[in-house]
Amino acid sequence: MSTRKLFGTNGIRGLVNVELTPEMVIKVGAAVGTFFGKGKNLVLGFDARTSGPMFAKAVISGLTASGCNVYFVGLASTPALQFAVKKHQLDGGIIISASHNPPEYNGIKVIWSDGIETSHEQETEIENIYFNNKLVYVPWTQIGQKRELPGVNDEYKVAIKAHVDPQKIASKHFHVVVDAANSVGGITCPVLLRELGCKVTTINANIDGTFPGRLPEPRPESLGVLSKTVVAVGADMGVAFDGDADRSIFCDGQGTIYWGDKTFAVVIKQYLLKNPGAKIVTPVSSSTLIKDTVEAGRGELIWTKVGSVTVSQTMKAENANLGGEENGGVFYRPHQAVRDGAMTTALLLNIMADTEKSLTELIAEQPQYFIEKGKIECPDNKKEILQQKIYEQVKTEHVSTIDGVKIWFSDGSAILIRPSGTEPVFRLYAEAKDSDKASKLVESYTTKLKEILSTL
Ligand code: MG
């Protein structure tokens, strides 16, 4: 089996026409088609990137050459496409998107029949087909068909509305600002919110693959325009999506932008009130706020490795209905067990309507943590031994080695020390109830790591 890789943590990504070329994408299409098998039906769509239509044609060539039928959607968010796979009982799908990466990138995510991205084992199978030229090209009589699949975005909106109380939300006349990142987040969410009786102001809502408004990654520091717009128009809430609208970052009526842990914790608290003892799934990189919220609500917390596919698959395996990541991904399995920006927006509005509290008030109820980050350089070949050595030093503490080494201290502070999957560095994420303590944690563990590294 080949050790060469196509897939990273979230699908295939690369610089357009440099790393990711049309001829490569045809071959990826054929490898995916071979993996699924002749006669299978796959949905296909893309985000706003300028290279989307070009790569869609290449994927269609490869898939139909291997005998798969393509149900073409065109512009759609990743969660809308994932929903279409389930709704139409298709065998899988392909999304052409580089998610939160800059405009010069594009990528390919492969979706399995359950609507979740393919597992790492399945990706290895596709890589094996691709690199070892095991592509199956069918005879001319068996070439797949390309059909249009209209109405996907409407079906997705209808499905989301079934999980909230539209009358209650409408009765509050919320005003919401949507920052669509000039991509597919602008296709469904503003209309959905209007149908839920909200007044909607949009920014960066025209489809433009050069992403003129802001970069596709919704980070608090790049959402200044959203924050100012919310304050200027007197809105109740703002929401910003990434390039394929699975991630959503929110700001309250005062223009304060929050990382995803805080809004996820709002959803958890309310969910546990209505579903006592429920299981909540989150990666070890999440804030202790998530642990506190689940414990306070008497839920059961399940930690996973970092990565959205792992969260989705753990939810499915554990029969858990709610999951989330700090980068703005809430997974609500009664709708679908994947990150879904529009679903998350509707859930938050439903909670605001239900509790009659503003987002500011809901977040002010939470314990506050200060976060500090650090990193040290570490050659790839020393990562494993460094991680093992640091674990030996701290194993008497409350510690988890699900992904890197995470230590929880009795005063509520915590640190995650984790090797980067893409760079020769170790990252440190500390949090504590005061900022001084958080920086001291990063400092002391940076020193510890350097000391160990110098002996290796
Ligand atoms: Mg994304």
Q: List residues with catalytic annotation.
A: 99
The rounded Å distance from CA 134 to ligand 1 centre is: 30
Q: Residue range 190-198: average pLDDT? A: 98
Distance 101 CA to ligand 1 centre (A): 9
pLDDT tier for residue 11 given thresholds of 50, 70 and 90 = confident
Dist. CA 448 → ligand 1 center (Å): 35
Q: What is the mean pLDDT of residues 298-326?
A: 96
pLDDT at 396: 86
What does the buried/exposed string (b/e) look like for 44-53 if buried means 16 or more CB atoms within 10 Å of the residue's CB?
Answer: bbbbbbebbe
Residue-level pLDDT at 347: 98
Question: Which helix H or strand E contains 384, and what residues bound it?
Answer: helix 383-394
Amino acid 82: pLDDT: 98
Q: CA–CA separation, 78 vs 95, rounded Å? A: 7
Q: What is the tens place of the pLDDT at every residue in 374-414?
A: 999 999 899 999 999 999 999 888 999 999 999 999 888 99
Residue 132: CB atoms within 10 Å: 12
Find the 69 Cα to ligand 1 centroid distance in Å.
26
Using a 10 angstrom Cβ sphere, with 0-12 exposed, 13-18 middle and 19 or more buried, the burial of residue 409 is middle
Q: How far apart are CA 50 and CA 32, in angstroms?
A: 23
pLDDT above 90 as % of the chain = 93
pLDDT in the model for residue 420: 85
pLDDT tens readout for residues 98-110: 999 999 999 999 9
Q: Is the pLDDT of residue 259 over 80?
A: yes
Q: Is the pLDDT of residue 205 over 70?
A: yes
The residue ranking higher by pLDDT, 4 or 146, is 146
Q: Report how far ligand 1's centroid is from the alpha carbon of 105 (Å).
A: 13
Name the phi and psi angles at 229, rounded to 5: -65, -40
Q: What is the DSSP string of 306-334?
A: SSHHHHHHHHHHHT--EEEETTTEEEETT
Instruction: Enumerate residues 6+ apart whose C-beta is below 8 A from 209.
Output: 48, 49, 50, 51, 52, 103, 182, 183
Alpha helices for 97-181 (secondary structure H): 120-131, 152-161, 166-171
What is the pTM assigned to this prediction? Answer: 0.95
Residue 10: band (very low, low, confident or very high) from pLDDT cuts 50, 70, 90: confident
CA distance 262 to 253: 15
pLDDT at 223 over 90: yes
Report pLDDT for 3: 60
Helical H runs in 141-280? 152-161, 166-171, 185-195, 224-233, 260-274
Task: Give 298 Cα–ligand 1 centroid separation in angstroms.
Answer: 31
When pLDDT is cut at 50, 70 and 90, the band that residue 2 belongs to is very low
Span 124-143, average pLDDT: 97
Question: Residue 56 pLDDT > 90, yes or no?
Answer: yes
Distance between CA atoms of residues 56 and 71, nearest Å: 11
| Structural contact between residues 399 and 391, judged by C-beta atoms closer than 8 angstroms | yes
Is the per-residue pLDDT at 76 higher than 90? yes
pLDDT at 1: 39
Average pLDDT over residues 300-318: 96
Is the separation of the CB atoms in 123 and 8 below 8 Å?
Answer: no
